[in-house]
Amino acid sequence: MSRARRGVGRGQQRKASDARADRAAFLLWAALAALAAARIALSFTSGMWMWGLNLQRFLDPVIGWPTWLAATLTLIPALARRLEPGAASLGDALSRRRVLASAALTLLVAGFAWGSADNTRFVGDFLLRQGTVELNGRPAQLFPQALPLDVFLHYTLPSALQGAHLMSANESARLLGAIDAAALALVAMAFVRSLALTGAGGFAAWAVVVFGGYLGMFTGYGKSLAELVTLAAAIGAFGLRVARDGRGKVALGMTLALALALHRSAVVFLLPAAVAWGVALRREGVATLRTRQTWIALGVPLATLALLGARIVTTMMKFDTIHLAAHAGRRSVHSSRAGTVPRLGRFRRHRLRAVAGRGVADR
C-alpha cells in the first residue's frame, strides 16, 4: 500500500513539474512572439523612441527581412517540431564534445564576426584606439587608464603587425575579435556541459550564450571590453561547474585573473566567483582549501590583485569619478583631448566625413 502511495505521489509530482514546464515554455514563446511583432511594427515608425527594437528599418532589406522571417517562422509549433531533431543532434554533439560539430560551430561564429565588419566606427573609443595604432600615438597619454595587457593586445601587437605590413590596424582588431568570438563559442559549450544539458535544450542554451548583441563588440573594436564579454561567459560556465560538482576551480581562477589584468571593471566578477566558491566550500568543507588546485585557483587572481589593485583603485578614484560625472566629465574630456590629441582629432573628422560621404568607411 505504501509503495502504491509513493508511486501515486511521484506521478503527481511529475505532472506538476510538467505543468510548470509547459507554462514556462508558453511564456517564453509569447515573449519571443511579442519581440518579433514589435520589430516588424517599429520598422515602419519614425523617431528613435524605441531604439534597438527598430533596428529592422536600418538594415538592408535583402539581409534584414529574410533573417527576421527565418527567426519568426521557428515560432510556429508545427515547423519548430520539424526543426527539433536537428537541434537535438547538435545539442547532444556539444554535450558529448564531438570535435566535428564543435569545430564547425566555432568556425561559423568566428566567420560571422569576421564578415560583419563595423563600417561606421562610431561607438565608444573606436576611432581613438584605431587612430592610436595608425598614427603611432602614445597610449600612455591617450588612454592612461588602460592596463598593460590591454595596451599589449590592442596597441603593441597591432602596431607590430602594421609595421611589418601584414595587417592594418582595423584588420588586426577584427582578427582579434574573430578569435574572441570563437572563444565565446567554445565557452558556451562549456556552459552547456556545466548545466548537464543535452538535446535541443543544450543547443538552445549554447545559442543564447553566443548570439547576443555583444557580438558587435567583435567587429573591430580595439578595446579590452570585447575580451571581457568572452571572459564573463567563461566565469559563468566555470563558476557553475565549481558550484555544482567542485570541478573547474583552476579554470575559474585563471579566467578571473586574466579579466582583472585586462580591465578594471572586471572587479565585478569577484562577486560571482565568491558565490561559486562559497557554494563549493559549503559542500566540500574546509578540507578543499588544503589542496594544490585550490591554492592555484585562489593564488593567481589574488596575485593579480596584489600587482594591479592599487592602480585599479587609483584609476577608479581619479579617472572614472571625473570622466563619468555629468558635467566635470565633459569639461575634462574636451580640455584634455584638445591639448593632447590634435592629430587624432583631425583623423576622427576625416573618418566621419568619409562615413557621411560614402555611407561606409574605407575598408
**The cell 509513493 sits on which residue?**
6
User: What average pLDDT is seen over the chain?
Assistant: 85
What's at 3, amino acid-wise? Answer: R
CB 252 within 8 Å of CB 260: no
Backbone angles phi, psi at 53, to 5 degrees: -85, -20
Span 126-151, pLDDT tens digits = 888 888 898 888 888 888 889 999 99
Q: What is the mean pLDDT of residues 114-122?
A: 86
Which uninterrupted H or E stretch holds 111? helix 99-114
CB 259 within 8 Å of CB 269: yes
Which pLDDT band holds residue 124 (cuts at 50, 70, 90)?
Answer: low
Closest CA to 224 of 282, 267, 170, 177: 177
**Would the pTM of this model clear 0.85, i.e. be above it?**
no
Q: What pLDDT score was predicted for residue 338?
A: 42
Span 202-244, pLDDT tens digits = 999 999 999 988 999 999 999 999 999 999 999 999 999 999 9
Span 343-357, pLDDT tens digits = 444 444 444 444 444
Where do the domains of the chain lie?
1-75, 93-358
Give how far Cα 36 sits from Cα of 6, 39, 40, 71, Å.
45, 5, 7, 8
115 three-class SS: coil
Give the C-alpha separation, 53 to 38, whole Å: 7
Q: Looking at per-residue confidence, does 209 or 342 come out higher?
A: 209
Q: What is the mean pLDDT of residues 292-302?
A: 93
